[in-house]
Amino acid sequence: MNKTDKILEAAKRILAKLNGEPVAVKFAKEGTTSDGVKVVTEADDWSVGAEVFVDVDGLVSPAPDGEHTIDKLILVVKDGKIEEVKEVVDEIPVDAELEAAIETALSAVVKDRDKYAAELTAKNEAIQKLAADIAAKDQEITNLKAQNITLSKQIGSIQDAPAAPAKGKNSDPELGADGRPKNWSKLNAQERVLWTLNNYSN
């Protein structure tokens, strides 16, 4: 639509408004809404700011305020002009059987997850108990090692101590023919008793 045509169409619309009646005019673009209403505009495209009219049997009038869906577009009209253009988002039809199958599968996954979580918790508890048992055994081993060291020292002390004279033996050069030490007269009473007990007691 050239400039002259636009001026003529504008004049016709002005006359229509003055007379309060719609008038048939030519438009550059047209389409049908989802409600079956023919919508037209002088603009080359459905764009913001373009005037929009409804065409009823060749007679046009400003499109009412609101949303008008056309050519997969939603025209938001205010005061006969496009205020906003939005794209129609096609809704994907829901397959009831597929939805049920997905729900069943997800339920199984959640159930298995809970089962594995419980098993994992039980295994963790068993590992912690085993770790505690190992720690207790390690402590027992440490204690036994300490006892072994003490016993070894005690055994070493016993081995290093001088051996007691054998009972009833008089072959010791320190003993006299009577089996008593040669220095018997030099021993005090306590030493004599101990020697006698060590060598002649049953």
Question: Where among 29, 59, 87 does a domain terminate?
Answer: 87
Question: Would residue 137 count as lying in a domain?
Answer: no
DSSP annotation of 61 reads E
Question: Would residue 157 count as lying in a domain?
Answer: no
Q: Quick one: which of 80, 52, 53, 61 has its CA closest to 22?
A: 61
Question: Where among 34, 62, 87 does a domain terminate?
Answer: 87
Question: Would residue 20 count as lying in a domain?
Answer: yes
User: How far apart are the C-alpha atoms of 54 and 68, rounded to whole Å?
Assistant: 10
The half-sphere exposure of 22 on its side-chain side, counting CA atoms within 13 A, is 14
pLDDT at 190 over 80: no
pLDDT at 173 over 70: no
Question: Would residue 193 count as lying in a domain?
Answer: yes
Question: Where among 25, 54, 87 does a domain terminate?
Answer: 87
Question: Would residue 8 count as lying in a domain?
Answer: yes
User: How far apart are the C-alpha atoms of 95 and 173, rounded to whole Å?
Assistant: 117
- Tell me the pLDDT band of 177, cut-offs 50, 70 and 90: low
Buried b (16+ CB within 10 A) or exposed e, 117-128: eeeeeeeeeeee
- What lies within 8 Å, CB to CB, of 80 at 6+ separation is 51, 52, 53, 62, 63
User: How far apart are the C-alpha atoms of 24 and 192, rounded to whole Å?
Assistant: 154
In this prediction, residue 198 carries a pLDDT of 74
User: How far apart are the C-alpha atoms of 116 and 150, rounded to whole Å?
Assistant: 51
Annotate 134-170 with DSSP letters as a single string.
Answer: HHHHHHHHHHHHHHHHHHHHHHHHHHHSPPPPPTT--
Question: Would residue 189 count as lying in a domain?
Answer: yes
Is the separation of the CB atoms in 40 and 60 below 8 Å? yes
Domains: count for the chain? 2
For 171-184, what is the mean pLDDT?
58
The one-letter amino acid code at 96 reads A
Average pLDDT, the chain: 76
- What lies within 8 Å, CB to CB, of 26 at 6+ separation is 1, 5, 9
pLDDT at 140 over 80: yes
Q: Quick one: which of 55, 51, 54 has its CA closest to 42?
A: 51
pTM of the model: 0.35
In this prediction, residue 16 carries a pLDDT of 67
Structure tokens at 172: 């010791």
For 42-49, what is the mean pLDDT?
86
In this prediction, residue 134 carries a pLDDT of 92
Give the Å distances, CA to CA, from 111 to 90, 104, 128.
Answer: 34, 11, 26
pLDDT, one tens digit per residue, over 90-127 is 766 667 888 888 888 888 888 888 888 888 888 888 89
pLDDT at 7 over 50: yes
Q: 38: domain range?
A: 3-87
Question: Would residue 128 count as lying in a domain?
Answer: no
Question: Would residue 115 count as lying in a domain?
Answer: no
